[in-house]
Amino acid sequence: MSDPKPAAALPRTVLALAATSFFTDVGSELVFSVMPLLLPAIGAGPAFLGLLEGFADATAALLKYLSGAWSDRLPTKRGIVLFGYSLSSLTRPVLMIASAPWHVFSLRIVDRVGKGIRTSPRDTLLAQAVDPSQSARAFGFHQAMDHAGAVVGPLLGAGLLAFGVELRMVFLVALVPGLLSVASLFFIRETPASVASKSARTSPLSPELRSLLVPITVFSLGVATDGFVLLRAAALGTPAALVPVWWTLLHVSKMTWAWLGGRLGDRLDRAKLLQVAWALFVVVMLGYGLSTQSWHVWLIAAVAGAWQGIAEPVQKALVGALASSESKGRTFGVLNGLKGAAAIPAGLGFGVLWEQVSPGAAFFASALMGAMGSTLLFGWRRRR
């Protein structure tokens, strides 16, 4: 990026959406952090959890695409975003009365339906709220607040349990940040946008944008859930009591780097910066694969937070800049849908390699996919 405009204060819409994501993640991570304590009590094991998350990711991925395309037909996006956040926020507390695995399964799917509905229209709102030259900063601030919520949520859950709050009551507490997240949306100031014409809704994305989605998809096939890193830390001797601490530090690192990455993304070439972030991913995966002591995993977490914090806002700003004003919803829908869909085979493949070969082989395979994606991105930059 050349000659960036002086940084202005982020508009109210960006601040409101950031607050919404913060409170949503407080509630979501509060629930997710205590979920492993509930599942054994209702007769569900690790296999059920894997099946649950796979279906949840698939549902969210499909709806991210559909809601993005649909939102281009709407003059305002706040209504669909409000519905998505409300659906998730009101569903999580119902887990307090779950007494069978299918109860948890159904509620988790509904939660992910809410996420799938809201994500792409929300990204469109963020992109439309600021000048394109400052979109990376807006996405970076939003992502930083999202990770801040992921820090507070598990700590809140641990604190409630430590003070003797009954497990099922913890799920009810999740209603409070959920309501705050929905309330924050009413501070959005949205100017009705032109509705995409039928030809715009059905026309293909630009060749430049479609070619960029190829390296993004290949790279995403190597990105498995951070839960595997938790397993790696525990297997290398990290005491069980310290595993949540490691998780918290990872999200603090992500939060810090998301804020910095957003600011850098408006000052530097975004494609180059994204490639740097992906190169860091390769280093991180190799590091996890080669780790032989628990402190290695703790040290690598700082770099892991850097690649994730930088990549997310810069990638969205780069893709959003290549989309027309009438097709931003569909563009973010395709981006979020592809990444969500790629997470399913990425997690499955990682798990199979972990069990059938070794944890190191799984991390090395992720590094290989990351390197392939980075190479394709380099080729895209050269052609551009």
**Cβ atoms 288, 297 nearer than 8 A:** yes
Residue 24 is encoded by which pair of tokens?
């949503």
Helix, strand, or coil (residue 9): coil
Q: Establish if 293 belongs to a structural domain.
A: yes
CA distance 21 to 84: 12
Q: Establish if 312 belongs to a structural domain.
A: yes
Structural domain count of the chain: 1
How confident is the model at residue 201, as a pLDDT? 54
CA distance 8 to 15: 13
- DSSP letters, 291-315, are --SHHHHHHHHHHHHHHHHHHHHHH
Residues in the chain with pLDDT values less than 70: 1-8, 36, 39, 44-51, 53-54, 192-204, 240-241
Q: Which CATH number does the domain housing residue 63 bear?
A: 1.20.1250.20
Q: Establish if 196 belongs to a structural domain.
A: no
pTM: 0.80
CA distance 151 to 248: 5
How confident is the model at residue 154, as a pLDDT? 85
Helix, strand, or coil (residue 194): coil
CA distance 100 to 32: 17
CA distance 292 to 357: 17
Q: Establish if 195 belongs to a structural domain.
A: no
How confident is the model at residue 51, as a pLDDT? 64
Q: Establish if 193 belongs to a structural domain.
A: no
**Domain around 215:** 12-185+201-383
Q: Establish if 88 belongs to a structural domain.
A: yes
Q: Establish if 190 belongs to a structural domain.
A: no
Instruction: Name the DSSP class of 75.
Output: S
CA distance 249 to 235: 18
Instruction: Name the DSSP class of 100.
Output: S
How confident is the model at residue 4, as a pLDDT? 47
> 10 Å Cβ neighbour count for 187?
13
Q: Establish if 50 belongs to a structural domain.
A: yes
